[in-house]
Amino acid sequence: MSEARILPGRACGDCTLCCKLLSIDALEKPAGRWCTHCNVGGGCTVYETRPAECRTFHCGYLIWEHAGEHWNPARSKMVVASEDSGRVWIMVDPARPDAWRREPYYSDVRKWAQWAADARQQLLIHSAGRAIAVLPDQEVELGRLQPGDVFRLVERFEGGRRRYEAVRTGAAEGPAGSPAAPA
């Protein structure tokens, strides 16, 4: 991921949700479980020596102006993460798997899905162990993603209307998956 600039007025504060939702290869920490170095609500107990994966990660709330204050992970129970490849992940706390469907989040998700499609990018929700591709006109259940799995966006025109499909492909057919993305 490229170096990100934290937006004025944004900070992690007492939020530690990324320490639960992200997988951290260097610590052999799976997604969806609290990191053993996390003082929940207090921060990282090994902050000065934390792995590079943790040092370079900035959630969308911190760096993306389109993620309003309501996207603070401590409030939303979701972590927004983007990749240089153009994929955006919304990782949802397993304790609240439908959080992304509540307002005002769902309206944002629908708007972001259109922006992603227009830019030939991807928006994925990771909720309750499954991935969902959010397209401008539908949501596509992708099931459990394995490391290296990707999907590509296919645009079709039917009856003068633009339609989208999410096609699951193997790693050899598309860009690599995110090491920070849940498995």
pLDDT one digit per residue (tens) for the chain, 183 residues: 445 789 999 999 999 999 999 999 999 999 899 999 999 999 999 999 999 999 999 999 999 999 999 999 999 999 999 887 778 999 999 999 999 999 999 999 999 999 998 888 889 999 888 889 999 888 988 888 776 677 777 777 888 877 777 777 765 433 333 333 443
pLDDT at 180: 38
Contact 32, 94 (CB under 8 A): yes
Half-sphere exposure of 118 (CA within 13 A, CB side): 6
Note whether 178 and 89 are within 8 A (CB).
Answer: yes
Q: Are the CB atoms for 112 and 66 separated by under 8 Å? A: yes
Three-state DSSP state, 100: helix
Q: Which sequence spans correspond to the domains of the chain?
A: 58-173
Joined together, the tokens standing for residue 128 give: 């309750």
pLDDT score for 147 = 65
pLDDT at position 108 is 97
Tally of CB atoms within 10 A around 73: 24
Q: Specify the pLDDT at position 144.
A: 83
Residues in the chain, overall count: 183
Q: Tell me, what's the pLDDT at 3?
A: 59
User: Count of CB atoms within 10 A of residue 120's CB?
Assistant: 10
pLDDT number for residue 143:
85
pLDDT by residue (tens digit) across 72-114? 999 999 999 988 777 899 999 999 999 999 999 999 999 999 9
Query: Could you tell me the maximum CA-CA distance found in the chain, to the nearest angstrom?
Result: 58
DSSP 6-72: PPTT---TT--THHHHS-BGGGTBPTTS--TTEETTTEETTGGG--HHHHH---HHHH-TTS-GGG-
pLDDT at 87: 84
